[in-house]
Amino acid sequence: MQKKEELLSGLTYGPSEEAGTILVLYLNGDLESSVGDDELDDSDIEAIAELVERLKELDALQHDAERRGSEAKFDNALTLINEHLNRYTATPRLEAVRKLPVWEWGLCLVAKGKKPSRQSYQLWMSQLAVELVRSGRISYLKQCAQCGKWLFGLFAHQKFCKAYCKQQFHRLNPADKKRRADWARKDYWKRKRMNAR
């Protein structure tokens, strides 16, 4: 994994891994808390988390597109996202970052109005989230089923941020406990029957 500083130094609308990694840092509150003069706060993070969830719904609906009536649902989900984005006002700015031997170009959105640095950050995160939809990997971005931290999975069905969380989940989950207990009971009777023969 690239270092956080490296990720933040450039224009990073590139590969989805990079987008996923930056979004995870942001959503977990692990990015620098201070952006210019403004402080990032929980409501910023919640807004991006909400956007991610809505984009996931949209992503799920797009695969449903052949089904009758799903276009209306899709349009509705899209409208909700655009209403969500209405909170931002921005101007485009061309940025060039030297990545030897060439320059890398990007059109950034720079927020205007109240708290411009915070809002620019939000816009950047929104663009990264859309990048994940574009590359078909928005569903890889999720919260760990055990500790609730955000993760960007190596595959769509990854549920846990680390092996420890997976172990804890299976140790503590009641359904899992029941399954283990049932299995142990079944196994006990099976062995008992076999021994009785």
Tell me which residues touch Zn ion (CB under 5 A). Answer: 144, 146-147, 161, 165
Could you give the CA distance from residue 93 to residue 178 in angstroms, rounded to a whole number? 57
Closest CB to Zn ion among residues 16, 146: 146
Could you give the CA distance from residue 184 to residue 190 in angstroms, rounded to a whole number? 10
CB of 185 to Zn ion, least distance (A): 30
Coil, strand, or helix at residue 112?
A: coil
Closest CB to Zn ion among residues 88, 169: 169
Closest CB to Zn ion among residues 123, 141: 141
CB of 46 to Zn ion, least distance (A): 19
For CA atoms 150, 154, 158, 163, give the dihedral sign.
negative
**Spatial CB neighbours of 145, under 8 Å, sequence gap ≥ 6:** 159, 160, 165, 169
Query: What are the angstrom distances between the C-alpha of 97 and each of 5, 6, 100, 106?
Result: 14, 12, 9, 9
CB of 147 to Zn ion, least distance (A): 3
Closest CB to Zn ion among residues 62, 143: 143
Closest CB to Zn ion among residues 163, 196: 163
CB of 150 to Zn ion, least distance (A): 9
CB of 143 to Zn ion, least distance (A): 8
Closest CB to Zn ion among residues 54, 166: 166
Which phi and psi (to 5°) does residue 13 adopt? Answer: -95, 25
Of 156, 96, 85, residue with least CA distance to 126: 85
CB of 146 to Zn ion, least distance (A): 5
Alpha helices, DSSP H, located in 63-173: 70-85, 116-134, 163-172
Could you give the CA distance from residue 157 to residue 178 in angstroms, rounded to a whole number? 23
